[in-house]
Amino acid sequence: MATSFFSGPEKKSLPTSRQQTVSKPLQEQRTDSQQLEASNPDDATRYRLRTVVLDAGHGGKDIGCSGKAVHEADVALAIILDLGRRIKEGYPGVRVIYTRRTNVFVELDERAAIANRNHADLFISVHCNAGPHASHGTEVWCMGPHKTEANLGVAKRENAVILQEKDYQRRYDGFNPNSPQGNILFSLFQSAYITNSLRLAQRIDRQFRTSVGRSSRGVKQAGFIVLWKSTMPSVLVESGFLTNPTEENYLDDKAGQQAIAGGIYHAFREYKHDLEGGPAE
């Protein structure tokens, strides 16, 4: 299985059909993506971000962490749906795929498999955090070795959902999410896409700190199954602590959910333009 994690360049080769020059006339009212595609005569050979998979963490029988009245699965879904709407409106040429759009349970490996089957260029997973009541702030995670016990704890909590899956030891090659040794070894897997994963993560973190105005706990790395299994740049966003009453109220509010989605969307725009060589935002 390791070959899928280390083989292949960060930028995928485009199918022949994507390399053909667009011949339709431009509309007067053009979207961001249409303007970008028309701005360079080398459009036919330039890399394009075509497909993004959006993953709302948990769902169904797995509610995730909880505050006094709010469940992680519900908040994550609301943020993801709003993010998908923004991407569809801003970039009609980008295909948006959801791992779930309702309150259903989806196995971790199936979430990554959805992205892999659709040859996604990007995978974004949204979650909520849990901890002591005073804990607060956003986190953006990439696959990689954890540097602190706290980082390991977050990965263990998110990975523990596999215990609700049938035959999880076979599906995950004997991985035990309750084993500290297993999590340490697992976290050493380095994705071939780590550079672009960190690039997107840093942009999301900056948006949270600036335009959204959230307290940030930074960009971090640890071994998450859903990121390990995906073969494209991938990030996992912890949008705040439901165990903190103030942050629970913020994340339970539609305006707060939209603010988080907006921050991720603006980071997505920056990342897309950066990779495609588009004009600076």
- Tell me the per-residue pLDDT of 179-199, one tens digit each, with 9 for 90 and over: 655 555 554 454 578 889 999
Q: Region 93-122: what's the mean pLDDT?
A: 95
Number of H helices, E strands in the chain: 11, 6
Nearest to 256 by CA among 101, 76, 103: 76
pLDDT category, 266, cuts 50, 70, 90? very high
pLDDT category, 170, cuts 50, 70, 90? low
pLDDT for the residue 223: 76
- How many domains are contained in the chain? 1
pLDDT in tens, 99-108: 999 999 999 8
Q: Region 59-82: what's the mean pLDDT?
A: 97
Q: Kindly tell me if the per-residue pLDDT of 136 is higher than 90.
A: yes
Residue 189: inside a domain, yes or no? yes
Residue 42: inside a domain, yes or no? no
Residue 41: inside a domain, yes or no? no
d(C-alpha 75, C-alpha 88), whole Å? 20
User: For the domain that residue 192 is a member of, what is the CATH number?
Assistant: 3.40.630.40
Residue 45: inside a domain, yes or no? no
pLDDT in tens, 204-226: 999 999 999 999 999 998 878 77
d(C-alpha 244, C-alpha 137), whole Å? 10
HEC-encoded secondary structure of 96-139 = EEECCCCCCCCCHHHHHHHHHHCCCCEEEEEEEECCCCCCCCEE
Residue 261: inside a domain, yes or no? yes
What residues make up the domain containing 134? 52-276
Residue 16: inside a domain, yes or no? no
Q: Kindly tell me if the per-residue pLDDT of 271 is higher than 70.
A: yes
Residue 78: inside a domain, yes or no? yes
Nearest to 35 by CA among 27, 45, 23: 27
Count other C-beta atoms under 10 Å from residue 66's C-beta: 16
Would you say the C-alpha torsion 178, 176, 111, 267 has a positive or negative sign? positive
pLDDT category, 36, cuts 50, 70, 90? very low
